[in-house]
Amino acid sequence: MAVCTIHHHHVADPFIAEAHASLQTVLFMRDLGFRRVIVEGDSLTVMKKVNGTAHDRSIISPIVQEIKELSKKFESIQFRFTYREANGVAHLLAKLGGDMPSPSYWIEEAPVAVMNLTASEEYRHQRT
């Protein structure tokens, strides 16, 4: 497990925040040397733009282009939409990151609250 939180100050648009989160995920996975990655996000708009082939002219276009360029460095990378209810760990990390003055990274561990939520979400998925 590897997790990180990076606080982006003064981001007024939720699509920009979601696009930045996807970009940070790709950068973090690249820096860790991962070759095969699945990025999940709960913004259908962002996931569609990253997976799309049409030229994007939206406000998140520069971020989407950077994600696409970085994605070429992976053996395999997939971007998948997931419902917010199934993405509780990401939202907990975002909340924790908002309280941290600088980027935080955890490798092979995570804050206790994140580990507990991960375990409960895994248990819930096993039961369904």
3.40.50.720, 3.10.310.10, 3.30.420.10, 3.30.1490.190: CATH of 2-127:
3.30.420.10
| pLDDT score of 100 | 66
Contact indicator for 77, 36 with CB cutoff of 8 Å = yes
> From the first residue on, what is the mean pLDDT of each consecutive set of 10 residues in the chain (128 residues)?
69 84 92 91 92 90 96 96 73 68 74 71 54
Closest CA to 41 of 75, 65, 14: 14
Q: Which pTM does this prediction carry?
A: 0.75
Total residues found in the chain within this entry: 128
Secondary structure (3-state) at 33: coil
> Hey, where are the domains in the chain?
2-127
| pLDDT score of 123 | 45
Secondary structure (3-state) at 78: strand
